[in-house]
Amino acid sequence: MMLDEISLMSLIESYCKSFLLYGTEATSLLKSEVSKRTAAWHTAYYKVFNISSQNVARVELATGVLPLSYQFELKKFNFLKNCKCSINLTVKFLFDYFGKLELSLYTEKYGISIRDSSSKLKRAMLDHFSNAVSH
């Protein structure tokens, strides 16, 4: 029995994407690291959907899947938000020193508040991505 493309990508997402995203919320990735991880993720799209690199964004958009670069930012936003709200004084101090500016950049970029839910941020990211693809 063959799986359809959407089911296969769902399995790949469930079992493989976590390796590409692991620990990214607690560090700043270099552009080369983002590129390598994105290339690995795009390879799955090439193989499953038999498409070229120019069409990956369209497939992600059609299936409602955030590109890996946006998923890095989503994880980072949630991590920083949790640090800001932590009751641990050391974590709060480190957030104030290292994370406050980055969190404000995300809220400004996507037009959201730190009080917004993760699902609202994801929706804002999908809208941002949709606008980037259509232009």
pLDDT in tens, 29-46: 999 999 999 999 999 999
pTM for the model: 0.88
Domain count, the chain: 1
What range does the domain containing 110 cover? 5-134
Contact 70, 77 (CB under 8 A): no
Contacts of 91 (CB under 8 A, 6+ apart): 83
What is the torsion angle, in degrees rounded to the nearest 10, for the CA atoms of residue 81, residue 82, residue 85 and residue 86?
A: -150
Count CB atoms within 10 A of the CB of residue 32.
8
Which has the closest alpha carbon to 66: 3, 128, 23, 22? 128
Could you identify the residue written with the tokens 């369209």?
58
Indicate if the pLDDT at residue 1 is higher than 50. Answer: no
Q: How far apart are CA 95 and CA 82, in angstroms?
A: 10
Please, which pLDDT band fits residue 2 given cuts at 50, 70 and 90?
low
Q: Quote the pLDDT of residue 35.
A: 95
